[in-house]
Structures are given as C-alpha cells and as structure tokens.
Amino acid sequence: MEKFFKLKENNTTVSTEIMAGVTTFFAMSYILFVNPTILSLSGMPFQAVFLATIIASVIGTLIMGLFANVPYAQAPGMGLNAFFTFTVVMGLGYSWEQGLAMVFLCGIINIIITITKLRKLIIQSIPESLQHAIGGGIGIFIAYVGIKNAGFLQFTSDESAIVSSVVDGDKATNVVSNGGIVPALANFNNPAIVLALIGLIITTILVIKNVKGAILIGIVTTTIISIPMGVVDLSAINFQQNSLGNSIKELGTTFGAAFGPNGMPSLFSDASKIPQVLLTVLAFSLSDIFDTIGTFIGTGRRTGIFSKEEEDSVMTSRGIHSKMDKALFADAIATTAGAVVGTSNVTTYVESAAGIGAGGRTGLTSVVVAAMFLLSSFLSPVVGAVPTQATAPALILVGVMMMASFKEIEWTNLEDAIPAFFTSIFMGLAYSISYGIAAGFIFFVLIKVVKGKVKEISPVLWIVTGLFIINFIVLATL
C-alpha cells in the first residue's frame, strides 16, 4: 500500500487517508438522495438511478484513486443532472434514453479532448469571467429548483397572459403563460411547506457550524421529522419494492438504454434536430470540463497535489502523462460509464476539498470513498421514505455554495459584468443552463465587437456563439 500510493512521499498515513475518505464521502453523500430525485422527474426509475449513481461513483472514484493516485471523488454532477432533466428532457422534449446517449457522446468527446490539444483550444476560448459566471449561474439554478421543490413559491397568472393550456376534464394542465405571471411567497399553512422550512433551518445551522456530513444529516433529520408531521406515511412505503434486489431489477431498465431503440439510433433520426443535438452535447461537455478543471486547480494548487508544472501541462501537452492528465482522463471515463449504467454526467466533486482539508493526499482517499459508496447501496429501502421537502434544503444550500464563483467576477467592469449577469440570471429564470451559457456568449461577443476588441474573441467562441444563434432561429421556426 505504501509503495502503490506513495504515502510517505506525500507526507500522509493510512489512518489519515481513511479519515479523509470518510470525510469526503459524508460531504458529498447527499448526491445519493438528490440525483435520483432530479433524474426521476425525467421518467427514469428512481431506484435504478439510485443504484446507477452508486455504480458510476464507484467506477469513477476508483479510477481516480488507482490510476491517477489523487484524493478526488466523483459522482453525477449537480447542475448537470438538472440540465439533463429540466432542459434536455422537459425543455427540449428528448426522451431520457436520448439524454443518456448525449451523455455518452459527451464522455467520448471529453476523452478525445483530454488526449489531444483540443483541450487547450477550448479552455482558452472561454473568458475567465464567463467560466465563473457559469459556475455561479448553475448555483442560482440549483437553488431555484430547491425553492420550487420546497413549495416556497406560488405563481399567479392573469387570464390575458395565458398563451395556451391543455384541459383535462375540469382541470387545466400544462398552462403556458407569458410575462403576466407573478411569483409570490407561498402561505406557510401546509405541513409539507413547513417541513421544508424546518429542514432548511436545520441544514443551514449544521452547515454554518461546519458539522461533517451536514447536508446528509439535514436530509435524514428532516425525513424523520416528516413522519410525525404526516408528510410521510411509513405504512404506505413498500420496503420490498425499494429493496436492493428491486434496485438491481430496475437497473435493467436504464442499463444500456443509451444504445437501445429509444436512445442513440433515434437521436440522429431527425436531420433537422442534429444541430440542436450537437449543441446540447457541447453544453454537457463544456460544463463537465470546466467543473473538473476548476476543482483540480482550485484545490490542488494550495495543497501541492498538483504542481504548477502539472497545471501548465494541461494547456501545453498532448496525451496522458502527469497526474492531472490522468485525473482528467478518469473524469471522462466516468461520464461514459455513468451513461451506460443510467445516470447523467459524472464529474469531480468540489466536496473533495473536505477530505483534502482533513489530510487526504493520495488515491487511497478515493478508494475509501468508493468503498463507502459501495456500502451505501444497502440504504436502498430507506431512500423511498425521503420526501422532496427533505432534499430541497440540500439543493438550496448546494446552490448557495456554488454561487461562490461570483466573487471572482469584476462586477464594476461592465464588459465582464453584463455577459456574466445574463449567463447566470438566464440559467435560473429561463430554467435552462444551456440558454444561460448562450446568452452569456452572445453578449460577450456583442460587447467585444462594439468596443472594437474583436481580436479578444477566439475562433472557437465565434463558432459556438454562431451555433447558439442558429439554434434559437431553428426553435423560433418550429
């Protein structure tokens, strides 16, 4: 173990690495509950996604530990799973099988990018201010999803503002309204809303007090409170249906679905949608790439896990040589594997910083995290009892944490502030991460052209922005 992980060389011990691994797991374990909650809204079986989340996390984290020998953990990414459900499936109308096919293609693209100089071109093409805006904007989006899931908001629409609706008997469903819709704070006279508020207060206190596993503890505590409040009826829960055996059975629905008749073959059957498919895969890929690189550079530089030379090699080298090259390759492989078993993009978690802060310096930390994820598969019967009001606070607070990226933006400089604003605000209010990225790119290009700074726009950014504009034109003509 000493020889394989080079513990002495990295000034660490087995006990330190184990503690670091446990710390990282509890810091990110909320994904076990949140990822199935989000992806199941796309029509995917909840229990299948729960098990797919575990399998993808184990595969990705093991590769990170055994191949790259770095203390980072992987799991389906927050923001990326929301993009999958709310934009790709609900917004653009693709099936979840087609969504998985797109995730698989994203993984393949990221592998190619990692082993070629395309990585350098893409990284250099995105202005730093927009990279930070994308991270913070995803935080707004995730927090907004949590607020809606908690039931904190209610929406009123004037009759004149209703564009279209579908009537089912005496009820209007799928109502589309324009700017006449007005959001407001809901009345806290419903047990489910009160439960979400209690959960938010508890989880906030735990996070502020830096309690290890605060988000997971918050979810569990809120779930327990939901029972006497009548939000969850234990007698109505089918523990046999939510067993590990049933999760394995349901996994058969998602495993390989990306390549089934409703997946990859149908994805390119409509030639008119091919540009939109390519744009969506690109959006997946860009988010995944910058999430991972940002995590590595942000945590590795301070701790010495990645040297300055290794950071520079990401921009200059071709192939897989340094630890960072291997770590990026592990991340791309994990996304591909996740698509096969049935989950959205797998990415490197910034919560790995918790384990690094606890002393983790080698891949042994990652191996411990993978082992913890594997053991968590036996929690399957319990997951069915977790209400959305228990996971909503987790979404809100994870969103708050992700919004920390905004501090890196120079808001007093309107050349940076305007594209950053439209990037982030459109992600939340348009309920679409890709539309936020598109808005940011378009305004960035517009401002640089007006200011006579065309040379600051990279060829790659011109191409991507053009594709976004074409996409909007196509959507407007449908």
Please name every residue paired with 181 in a beta bridge, in sequence order, or none if there are none. 157
Q: Which pLDDT band, with edges at 50, 70 and 90, does 247 fall under?
A: confident
8 Å CB contact between 403 and 91: no
Q: How confident is the model at residue 315 (pLDDT cuts 50, 70, 90)?
A: low
| Structure confidence by residue, pLDDT tens digits, 341-351 | 999 999 888 77
Percentage of the chain surpassing pLDDT 70? 86
pLDDT in tens, 257-294: 999 999 999 998 888 888 888 878 877 887 777 677 76
User: What is the arithmetic mean of pLDDT over 308-335?
Assistant: 76
Q: What is the mean pLDDT of the chain?
A: 84
Q: What is the pLDDT of residues 56-115, one digit of tens each?
A: 999 999 999 999 999 999 999 887 898 899 889 988 899 999 999 999 999 998 888 888
The torsion of the CA quartet 380, 21, 403, 451, rounded to 10 degrees, works out to -120
pLDDT of residue 56: 95
Residues 106/331, Cβ–Cβ less than 8 Å:
no
pLDDT value at residue 170: 64
User: Does 163 or 192 have the greater pLDDT score?
Assistant: 192
Mean pLDDT of 310-316: 65
Q: How far apart are CA 290 and CA 132, in angstroms?
A: 10
**What average pLDDT does the segment 14-27 reach?**
86
Q: Which long-range contacts (CB under 8 A, 24 or more apart) does 210-218 make?
A: 212/23, 212/26, 212/27, 212/354, 213/26, 213/27, 213/29, 215/27, 215/29, 215/30, 215/394, 215/397, 215/398, 216/26, 216/29, 216/30, 218/390, 218/393, 218/394
Angle between helices 128-150 and 433-450 (to 10 degrees): 150
Residue ranges per domain, the chain?
A: 14-151+186-477
Please give the DSSP secondary-structure letter assigned to residue 167: E
- Output the pTM of the full model: 0.72
353, with CB counted inside 10 A (0-12, 13-18, 19+), is buried
String of b and e for 276-311 (b: at least 16 CB within 10 Å)? bbebbbbbbbbbbbbbbbbbbeebbeeeebbeeebb
Task: Determine the average pLDDT of the residues in 166-193.
Answer: 76
Q: Model confidence at 43, in pLDDT bands (50, 70, 90)?
A: very high
Q: What is the mean pLDDT of residues 369-378?
A: 90
Q: Residue 478 pLDDT more than 60? A: no
Confidence of residue 172 (pLDDT cuts 50, 70, 90): low
Q: Computed over its alpha carbons, how large is the radius of gyration of the chain?
A: 22
Contact of 246 with 388, CB cutoff 8 Å: no
Q: What is the pLDDT of residue 388?
A: 81
Residue indicated by tokens 């508890």: 202
Q: Assess whether pLDDT exceeds 60 at residue 173.
A: no
